[in-house]
Amino acid sequence: MKSTGIIQFTEQLVNTFQKLPPHFLPRPQEMQELKQLLWSSRILVVQGKGGMGKTVLAIAIAQDEEVRRKFVDGVVCLPVGIATKPIELYQQLAQALEGSKIYQETEVQWKAHLSKLLQDKSCLLILDEVKQQPEVERWHKLLGKNCQILLTTRESHLVDGLGAKGYLVEKWDDDPSLQLLAKWANVDKEQLPEEASAIVQECRQLPLALALAGGQVGDGTLWKSVLRALQDQDEEGFDPADTTATIQKCIAVSLQNLEQEKQDAYLELGIFPPHTKISEAALVKLWGRKGHKEESQLQQQLTQLEKRALVFAEGESPHRWVWLHDMQQNYLQEKLQDKAKVHREFLASYAKGRFPWKGAQVEGETYLYQHAAYHFQKAEEEEAFAQLLGDFDWLWPKLEATDIQALLLDFDRVQDKDRFLRRLQKALRLSAQVLTQDKQQFASQLWGRLLNLKQMKKHEYQYFWQKIPILGRYLPHHRGRGKVEQLLQQAKDRQTHTWFRPLAPCLDSSDGALLCTLRGHQSWVNTVAVTRDGQLAVSGSSDKTLKVWDLETKEETLTLTGHRSLIQAVAVTRDGQRAVSGSSDKTLKVWDLETGEALLTLMGHDSMVKAVAVTPDGQRAVSGSSDNTLKVWDLKTGNKLLTLTGHSGSVQAVAVTPDG
């Protein structure tokens, strides 16, 4: 029973797929065996066929008091076995551990951030429905020494491939199977009729199948009717060992007892993405688009499906969130016809039947803003979605409902972006750090970064176009406003609170050269040098430190401390292994850029060091100082080789010839 969500405990944050399912049946012996393996395993593989209850066991482990005491920094569960961009999962993990959303632009940046974050953490990472070994290895590389992985999978080869310990989830015995069947049927186990044992055998002791069968009885179907229907589904050649066929049989039997309209409504759930929570509001939109039923009737319909274990839900109506087991999702994907048409009708239901629509026409809610891109793609309406990304009336509520990372991922999904969308995407990237902290800055950021692209058309009728748009349509030579101008005008018109509207393009422009901003120094940055391979930058600051930056991940990798005053100059050797810094404390220091160790301190100047350069062979450095001299240094021994005199003032710059 899969989905995603967050559960907060008083001791820690646990990010998991869902709460334990209704009628959960504790399995203390299995839990104890699992925990014993977990205490001694860096990676534990929980393996079994679909519908066996692997995910429920993982959720129970995540909520176990003993497990929570051991992993003091949290238990984080991620559904890795679906077509989700890794960045989305990285963000979920970071948010679960840090308690707030942060922004990283690339997968490389996220890996660097998480590796640093997890270095000293004690946490358990639960990976659900893993299909391939690299999915695990990606996460294993990020974990600190006190972190562990528990994964669920149907693939037995992962145990040996990962060199991990394994736990096989097998069929239940008859006694717990009867207990679970009784719970879903809302009767005591002692009151079960003789048909119950036969139903357990028809369900092959699979927990999901038992829930589906018991749910029918709980909804009013007779025991003998359920048994007869299950037996009738056993076609010639039916393989009892095929868990998928057994689950599908139980779904089909549950559906055939419903009215045709409800059967059709259930099949339409096949349009939703796997492992995803669906809002009750979204289901009401989908099912209510034909206008045949009142909203209260649609909510009752959902309650009946939940009672039958055809869906799983949490919360109270009308604010429930619903999810499907992946085997149910697979069944629906196979059965639903003309999926693109249903996707389009679903999207149209948010705008009273209109489609394509603009942001202002949408009666939006959280689910739509989270997953619209998926439905537009499945509806084969990628061009309409691209148009939506230039509409402030869509962008702003999307940002409010999600975050800047989700908004940028939508831009990534558009294959052929025009010049306007490319510039808008870059403007959003440049604004990402600000918008992560304060979404209310959205309009101000757009104006500050796009204003230089706004095309103001000077014309004798411009007054009417701006002040009386309807009249302007009928005036000679009317020209539509550019996309940037339309977006900025929308942003301005939609503001309901006091905001800063830049009158000039005062922020870094989306058509400029800026790629990113590196933050970390506590005072002015006075100097910077880049390694020859372009991988690292070394900055020197008035905060008395140097910082080494990875230019691919945009992460700070080292902070070099030791100078007693501000840093005035820095140079790096040709091989990128060392840096030489000059400071107002009258010294130079030679640094190892891999370890951050200060290798040498070069003393001899009588005033602040203002400039430094290194010879191409990395053997010597030349420094310039406010004492009016230059000095030549041996970078192997730290000895001063020469003092060059003759200047009558401070030496501000120095360079060396290519031959050294």
- What pLDDT does 177 receive? 93
Lowest mean pLDDT: which of 139-148, 296-305, 535-544?
139-148
pLDDT of residue 537: 96
Scored b (16 or more CB within 10 A) or e, 52-76 reads bbbbbbbbbbbbbeebbebbebbbb
Beta-carbon contacts of 408 under 8 Å, excluding residues fewer than 6 positions away, are 105, 425, 428, 429, 432
Q: How far is CA 243 from CA 1, 163, 208, 250, 324, in A?
A: 15, 27, 10, 11, 17
- 486-531 confidence digits (pLDDT tens): 999 999 999 999 999 998 888 888 777 788 788 889 999 999 999 9
Walk me through the domains of the chain, giving residue ranges and CATH numbers.
5-168 (3.40.50.300), 174-343 (1.10.10.10), 417-516 (no CATH), 525-644 (2.130.10.10)
Q: What is the pTM of this model?
A: 0.78
Query: What span, in angstroms and rounded, lies between the C-alpha atoms of 383 and 426?
Result: 20
Predicted pLDDT of residue 637: 95
Q: Are 166 and 143 in contact (CB under 8 A)?
A: no
Among 33-37, 358-362, 459-463, the minimum mean pLDDT is found in 459-463
Q: Do 228 and 256 touch, CB atoms closer than 8 A?
A: no
Residue partners of 406: CB distance under 8 A and separation at least 6: 88, 370, 398
Query: Which candidate, 386, 382, 427, places its Cα nearest to that of 404?
Result: 427
Length of the chain: 660
Summary mean pLDDT of the chain:
88
What is the maximum span of the chain, computed from C-alpha positions, in angstroms? Answer: 108
pLDDT of residue 473: 52
202-241 pLDDT tens trace: 999 999 999 999 999 999 999 999 999 999 887 656 677 7
The answer for 596, left when phi > 0, alpha when psi is -120 to 50, beta otherwise, is left
DSSP-derived 3-state class of residue 379: coil
Rounded average pLDDT over 243-251: 92
**Residue 394's closest CA among 491, 318, 463?**
491
For residue 151, the surrounding DSSP H or E stretch is: strand 148-153
Residue from 621, 624, 589, 591 nearest 607 by CA: 624
Q: Which two tokens stand for residue 281?
A: 């509001």
